[in-house]
Structure 1
Amino acid sequence: MRSYLAEFFGTFWLVFGGCGSALFAASISELGIGYAGVAIAFGLSVLTMAYAVGHISGGHFNPAVSIGLWMGGRFSRKELFPYILAQITGAILAAAILFIIYSGTKGNIIDPSVAGAFAANGYGELSPHGYGVIAAFVTEFILTAFFLIIIMGATTKGANTKFAGVAIGLALTLIHLISIPITNTSVNPARSISQAILAGGNYPFQLWLFCLAPITGAITGGLIYKLVLEKE
């Protein structure tokens, strides 16, 4: 139970910290943190919780990561569903609280026709810079695959695992720096589901990509590390 709670709180903090920074701090005209600030916020969110609860649950905070680690031989199949349920639940609760806060001023109204509304992920007309479905899929697939390679490499025997959280947090920061303009960055189905539900419009109908691309990318990355890079 402790591991499930750790995943719940870790995913909650990831969504609350990352998406919260995008909602409240990125758009301020004078002092806004912009894309770079949001990327750092996501990286800091996963880095801090990796050290806070990673020793309890492994610090996945992402259904794609759990699935990729399972395919890479680092995680038990029987734990997959409870982990994913905890992650999605934590993400949705964080999004709901963000919605309450975001709605606390008259100027903040979610327009589901606007790209990046409520920090949701999208492609085509819902991409921050108009990138199409193929570009979005390839981006999410490649970045999640490398995220798994980094996670598995940083936590393997023989690596300096004391700094694994730093490597993983910086990797997520880099991932966001690359892909915020393309998809608003997912690489995490729980994060995408939580925001799309509250953003509404066509965002829920685009969730297939932000579930399929990260999961298949994570599976690919996990298998590459296991079969090609793992020491025998």
Structure 2
Amino acid sequence: MAQTGEATNIKGASKDYSQPEPHVLWDVEEFGKWSLWRAAIVEFVATLLFVYVGVGAVIGNGRTHPDGIGKLGISWAFGATIFVLVYCTAGISGGHINPAVTLGLLLGRKLSINRAFTYIVAQTLGAICGAGFVKAFQSTRYQVLGGGTNFVADGFTTGAGLGAEILGTFILVYVVYSATDAKLKARDSHVPLLAPLPIGFTVFVVHLVTLPISGSGINPARSFGAAVIWNHSKAWDDQWIYWVGPFIGASLAAIYHQHIIRVLPEKHFLLPTLSMSAIPKAIPKARPPCT
């Protein structure tokens, strides 16, 4: 994604690299550019395909043994689909396919507010359409099996579900930041090509852990799209968890990467944070006088 302003040259461990300047916060002229709307269309289609495959796998798992693919199969469906779709879309829209990822990158000043808003709308609409296709093709099973909707599983508290969504999304957005880091790109030319792989594997392993707890949302559009099409009260009771949790997790990951891992200037974060210079440094112990 294009950055504005001049890049800052920083001396790396092995070679020089350029840290892109923060993206402008608001660019009205961007609404008149085809590049924005092309990227929005790509995000819409990618999220549609992601939800169609993922929710379709969830519904398919409801079949009797041996046709059911199990939690491992569901996790692979979500993870592998993200890997493929990020690979296909990264050069056009950045391959977000997730409002939480979009928010996390917005906080790190990787895109403008108007582009982020456009992406989130496109992702949400795409998720609704994707879930709609699943219902159209598997209408009977869709209603009986809950439409692949996310809700906190029996035996777990609301706090457990919220915590699982926060931590799962934190891991995802942290990996997204790490896999697309400008510093790594400068050191290894293969990083841009390999970036979709760790992102896809992250979605896979996070689903393995959080599926039994919250159904593994970690993507507000995916959860919202399934809830809209199923439209059952049970889907809406816990819906807030799948927005608040991922947004908190994404925000924490952005802070962690930008200010702890990379220690970038405050201009590289959308919201004010504690300056590293304000943290008191350890006072060295006085040495005893030489005798």
Contact between 2:134 and 2:142, CA under 8 Å: does it hold in 1?
A: no
Q: Deviations over 1:37-92 (max 9, x none)?
A: 00000011111111111210000001111001111222221211110010000000
Give the residue type in structure 2 aligned to 1:133: T
Contact between 1:27 and 1:34, CA under 8 Å: does it hold in 2?
A: no
Contact between 1:149 and 1:221, CA under 8 Å: does it hold in 2?
A: yes
Task: Please say which of residues 28-37 and 188-197 is displaced more in the overlay.
Answer: 28-37
The answer to whether the aligner puts 1:213 opposite 2:249 as a matched pair is no
User: Which stretches of structure 1, 4 residues or more, deviate above 2 A after TM superposition?
Assistant: 25-28
Deviation at 1:197, TM superposition (A): 1.6
The secondary structure found in structure 2 opposite 1:202 is helix
The secondary structure found in structure 2 opposite 1:138 is helix
Deviation at 1:29, TM superposition (A): 1.1
Percent identity between matched residues is 29
Contact between 1:26 and 1:37, CA under 8 Å: does it hold in 2?
A: no
Residue 274 of structure 2: aligned partner? none
Deviation at 1:158, TM superposition (A): 3.2
CA distance in 2, matches of 1:121, 1:2: 30
Residue 139 of structure 1: aligned partner? 164
The secondary structure found in structure 1 opposite 2:111 is coil
Residue 77 of structure 2: aligned partner? 41
Gap regions ≥5 residues in structure 2: 1-36, 185-190, 265-291
Q: Deviations over 1:141-191 (max 9, x none)?
A: 011011111000001113322210000000000010001110111001100
Residue 29 of structure 1: aligned partner? 65
CA distance in 2, matches of 1:13, 1:166: 18
The answer to whether the aligner puts 1:192 opposite 2:228 as a matched pair is no
CA distance in 2, matches of 1:26, 1:40: 16
Q: TM-score, normalised by structure 1?
A: 0.90
CA distance in 1, matches of 2:100, 2:58: 22
Residue 15 of structure 1: aligned partner? 51
The answer to whether the aligner puts 1:59 opposite 2:95 as a matched pair is yes
Give the residue type in structure 1 aligned to 2:240: W
The Cα RMSD (Å) is 1.5
Deviation at 1:202, TM superposition (A): 2.1
Deviation at 1:32, TM superposition (A): 1.8
Give the residue type in structure 1 aligned to 2:72: A
Contact between 2:51 and 2:130, CA under 8 Å: does it hold in 1?
A: yes
From 151, 161, 164, give the equivalent of 1:122.
151
The answer to whether the aligner puts 1:167 opposite 2:198 as a matched pair is yes
Contact between 2:60 and 2:69, CA under 8 Å: does it hold in 1?
A: no
Deviation at 1:130, TM superposition (A): 2.8
Give the residue type in structure 1 aligned to 2:155: G
Task: Please say which of residues 3-12 and 73-82 is displaced more in the overlay.
Answer: 73-82
Residue 133 of structure 2: aligned partner? 97
The secondary structure found in structure 1 opposite 2:119 is helix
CA distance in 2, matches of 1:132, 1:153: 32
From 119, 137, 147, give the equivalent of 1:83.
119
Which of the two has higher C-alpha Rg?
Answer: 2
CA distance in 1, matches of 2:90, 2:101: 13
Residues 26 and 222 (structure 1 numbering): CA distance in 2 closer, same or farther, change over 3 Å? farther
Deviation at 1:109, TM superposition (A): 5.7
Bigger fraction of residues in helix? 1
CA distance in 1, matches of 2:142, 2:110: 43
Contact between 1:149 and 1:225, CA under 8 Å: does it hold in 2?
A: yes
The secondary structure found in structure 1 opposite 2:65 is coil
